Amino acid sequence: MRRWALQGMRGAWLVGVIGVILWWQLPAHAQARAETWGAKQGSVCIGCHSQQNVALVQEWRIGRHGQAGVNCFDCHRADKGDPDAFDHNGFLIAVIVSPKDCARCHQKQVDEQKGSHHAKGGQILASLDNFLGEVVGGPPAVATGCMQCHGSQIRVLPGGKFDPATWPNTGIGRINPDGSWGSCSACHTRHAFSVGQARRPDACGKCHLGPDHPQIEVYQESKHGILYQAFQDRLNLDRRTWVVGQDYTAAPTCSTCHISATPSQGSTHDVGERISWTLRPAISTKLNMIVYEDLWKEDVPEGTPLPQVGESRKAKDGKVRKVSRVLTWKQRREKMQDVCSQCHAGGQITGFYKQFDDLVELYNEKFAKPATAIMGELYKANKLTAAPMDEKLEWTYWELWHHEGRRARHGASMSGPDYAWWHGMYDVAKTFYLHFIPEVKAAAGEPLATQLLDKYVFSQPGHRWLKEGMTKEQLQKIQDFYRQRYGGQN
């Protein structure tokens, strides 16, 4: 008996030590704000839910929140007047925990996320993508597809329940009932909220994949992804701080390059901060960033005059704001190169960027600008109806830039050769020559087709092969190669 008692005492002592360690593990913000959590009501929640949803509660319990005593009610409590507040067995709660709620403890992270492209993900309601989703597909396709990544605009039904056309949803730019934009659990998955899980590439891969932005596939085939597969156990993914070169050295994840800290720069929850090119639109541009005092951000293409810090100006959404910071594309690139340099020497980095820039320029100049210009001319000449996507050429052009052209650019941006070429430039070229040009001819008719193609396409030396073919010598060289290399056949 006595031995057990002693052990019990030792146990208590141990719990104390662990408590101190856990406390130290908490973010600084959190340490300063212990009064914001530990609501007594939480134990009542756990009483039922540990029966009804045992795994949910258990994951919370072993996660950092559970270990630190941040409980159900701390996050889900609502205030009277909250649009989605409802009475749940005598407690006023809300199902959705919005960034505003998370900011009670994680203000810095929410501030960084505010105004970022991620936070604006739900603002595609009037875009061409949305037309495709809502009209060409149909609303349920938007609910299970588009919105699950972009975020829905949550509609609260009488009684505090949500319209199931908009919920469940953890899209990154969710428009919450409290007016905030975003969903922290898009990456920090419920209910363990493990920071290590969010740092894994899979977290990003939920949305950054597929025909139109295959970042996860590019990463997986890159050396970065190969090293991650081999050495993920050496990455200390669960550490509180996670500084490349200090906490780990074996491989980068998406987070390493786009979010996490280096010895010389802090982490950021604005995932676009270190990105110098936009690879999203039909034609890529380098982007400078303007940050306003209210944390609203906007990107402006290289070349657009930049405001002064302190200046008040009308932002793109029409609201007048004071500029608090300007980050040029060069500064953004320097931030990324600082990450690169933890593992790569300078020549490797500048060489990489030269290859990447060249690929984007090739895509822009040889394919994207001519195709975009021709589309504009066809609309102007009424050779295409104003309605989007009701003509084959419109789908061809759309996939040329939105799918294939992005894949090429993303492949080059993250060293995935199969995406740069086969899923990228090969597909771009094939679509351009085999589909776009013939469909332009069909839509424009003569003499407009010839005029347009001569002006925008065949004026470029890079397209002349299509008209001029190859010389006999060039052809002979190809045949000789196959004979020597493989003993015959192509």
211-230 positions binding a copy of itself, by CB under 8 A? 211-212, 220-223, 225-227, 229-230
13 lies in the binding site for a copy of itself (CB under 8 A) = no
Tell me the sheet residues that pair with 277: 286
For residues 358 and 408, the answer to whether their CB atoms sit within 8 Å is: no
One-letter amino acid identity for 189?
Answer: T
**One residue of 293, 294, 390, 454 binding a copy of itself per CB under 8 A:** 390
Which one, 87 or 361, has the nearer CB to a copy of itself? 361
Backbone angles phi, psi at 92, to 5 degrees: -90, 110
Which one, 13 or 482, has the nearer CB to a copy of itself? 482
355 lies in the binding site for a copy of itself (CB under 8 A) = yes
Any idea how long the chain is?
A: 490
DSSP state of 101: H
CA 296 centroid distance within chain:
18
359 lies in the binding site for a copy of itself (CB under 8 A) = yes
| Sign of the CA dihedral with 450 first, then 453, 459, and 460 last | negative
Chain positions 454 to 483 lying near a copy of itself, rule: CB under 8 A, are: 462, 465-466, 469-470, 472, 475, 477-478, 480-483
Stretch that binds a copy of itself, among 36-44, 275-283, 327-335, 450-458 (CB under 8 A): 275-283
Residues 6+ apart with CB under 8 A from 451: none
Closest CB 76 distance from a copy of itself, rounded Å: 10
C-beta neighbour count of 59 within 10 angstroms: 18
**One residue of 23, 430, 442, 445 binding a copy of itself per CB under 8 A:** 430
Residues 6+ apart with CB under 8 A from 3: none
**One residue of 11, 38, 168, 445 binding a copy of itself per CB under 8 A:** 168
| C-alpha to C-alpha distance for 265 and 127, rounded to whole angstroms | 35
Q: Is 324 exposed, middle or buried (0-12, 13-18, 19+ CB in 10 A)?
A: middle
Which one, 36 or 43, has the nearer CB to a copy of itself? 43
Chain positions 101 to 160 lying near a copy of itself, rule: CB under 8 A, are: 120, 123-128, 131-133, 135-149
Among the listed residues 331, 343, 349, 259, the one whose alpha carbon sits nearest the alpha carbon of residue 290: 331
At residue 40, the 3 state secondary structure works out as: coil
351 lies in the binding site for a copy of itself (CB under 8 A) = yes
Q: Which two tokens stand for residue 299?
A: 């990107």
Chain positions 397 to 426 lying near a copy of itself, rule: CB under 8 A, are: 408, 411-412, 415, 417-418, 420-426
Closest CB 20 distance from a copy of itself, rounded Å: 25
CA dihedral 195, 201, 206, 211 (to 10 degrees): 160
Binding mask 60-99 for a copy of itself (x = CB under 8 A): -----------------------------------x----
Chain positions 234 to 263 lying near a copy of itself, rule: CB under 8 A, are: 244-246, 248-250, 263
Which one, 34 or 300, has the nearer CB to a copy of itself? 300
**One residue of 53, 241, 450, 451 binding a copy of itself per CB under 8 A:** 53
Residues 6+ apart with CB under 8 A from 70: 37, 38, 105
Q: Using CB under 8 A, count the residues that bind a copy of itself.
A: 149
485 lies in the binding site for a copy of itself (CB under 8 A) = yes
| C-alpha to C-alpha distance for 20 and 360, rounded to whole angstroms | 52
19 lies in the binding site for a copy of itself (CB under 8 A) = no
For residues 364 and 356, the answer to whether their CB atoms sit within 8 Å is: no
Chain positions 291 to 320 lying near a copy of itself, rule: CB under 8 A, are: 298-301, 304, 316-318
21 lies in the binding site for a copy of itself (CB under 8 A) = no
**One residue of 77, 366, 406, 407 binding a copy of itself per CB under 8 A:** 366
